[in-house]
Structures are given as C-alpha cells and as structure tokens.
C-alpha cells in the first residue's frame, strides 16, 4: 500500500465526516426574517459538497489501493511525515483564529490570520500586510453586505 493512498483515504473520510457535521449543525440554524433564503442554505451546500467530494476521494483511494500490485507495496516511503511543521502551524493558526474571533472580532483576527498564513507560506511582511488587508476587507464586505451574514464585531 502506498502511503499516499492511505492518506487520501483518511483525508477523504475526514472531509466527508466534517461535511456531515457542518450539515447537521446548519440544520439547526434559525430562519432570519426578511432574508430571501434561510441562513442554513450556504452551510448546507458547503457540507453537501464536502460529503460528496470527500467520498469520491476516499472511494478513489480505496480503489487504487485494491489495484496496487504486490511489487509496488511500499513499507516506508522515506518522505516527510504527513503532519509537517507547516501543516501543524496552519492548523494552529486556524485554531487561534477560531478562539480569538469572538473576542477580537472578524476584522482584527482575520487580518492577523491572513498575514500569518502569508508569512508561513514564505511571503514577506509588506506583501503579507497588503494581502491581509485586502482579503479581510473583501471577505467582510461579501458576508456583511452581499450575503447579510453578521460577523463577530469584537471591541473594535
């Protein structure tokens, strides 16, 4: 079994499981008066897409694992471990964003999160600040004005 096939299987199943959780949580959202669509519509679409694509990925990996000839079975690929330092840093930044957003608001925490991600990816500070500013304002405007979805305000 190649490590990539096992990783694809695990990631696909995790993605489908997360999509299922999103769909279930979104099913409990209240309808906001005056909105043309329910506030659960977009999360349900996202959850459904995650379920479908996660299952497709898992099924493709399982099928490829069954077709693998015995001569290509790899015990240790010798490559980097699945949870690399970069991946762990991104997950840590995402967790920090989740916990900081209710306290600091979307604008402040989204800006810091975006800048940190650009820096983790190898970008320089000036580019990280410009990208973070543009991305945070764009996402804020799309959600608050375009979709009329309130974002955490925080103290600012």
With vertex at residue 51, the alpha carbon angle to CA 47 and CA 54, rounded to the nearest 5 degrees, is 130
> Which pLDDT band, with edges at 50, 70 and 90, does 31 fall under?
confident
pLDDT for position 3:
58
Do the Cβ atoms of 119 and 149 come closer than 8 Å? no
> Which pLDDT band, with edges at 50, 70 and 90, does 1 fall under?
very low
Is the pLDDT confidence value at 57 over 80? yes
All structural domains of the chain with their residue ranges: 1-76, 83-156
**Average pLDDT, rounded, for the chain:** 85
Q: Is the pTM of this model over 0.75?
A: no
What burial class does residue 61 get, using C-beta atoms within 10 Å of its C-beta: 0-12 exposed, 13-18 middle, 19+ buried? buried
Q: Is the dihedral of CA 125, 127, 131, 134 positive or negative?
A: positive
More confident residue, 6 or 50: 50
């Amino acid at each position: 079994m190649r490590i990539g096939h096992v990783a694809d299987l695990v990631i696909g199943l995790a993605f489908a499981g997360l999509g299922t959780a999103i769909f279930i949580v979104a099913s409990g959202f209240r309808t906001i008066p005056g909105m043309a669509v329910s506030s659960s519509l977009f999360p349900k679409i996202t959850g459904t897409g995650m379920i479908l694509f996660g299952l497709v990925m898992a099924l493709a990996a399982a099928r490829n694992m069954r077709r693998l000839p015995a001569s290509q079975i790899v015990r240790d690929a010798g490559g980097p471990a699945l949870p690399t330092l970069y991946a762990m840093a991104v997950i840590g930044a995402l967790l920090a964003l989740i916990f900081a957003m209710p306290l600091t608001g979307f604008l402040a925490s989204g800006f810091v999160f975006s800048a940190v991600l650009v820096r983790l990816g190898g970008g320089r500070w000036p580019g990280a600040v410009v990208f973070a500013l543009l991305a945070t304002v764009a996402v804020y405007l799309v959600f608050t004005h375009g979709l009329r979805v309130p974002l955490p305000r925080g103290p600012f």
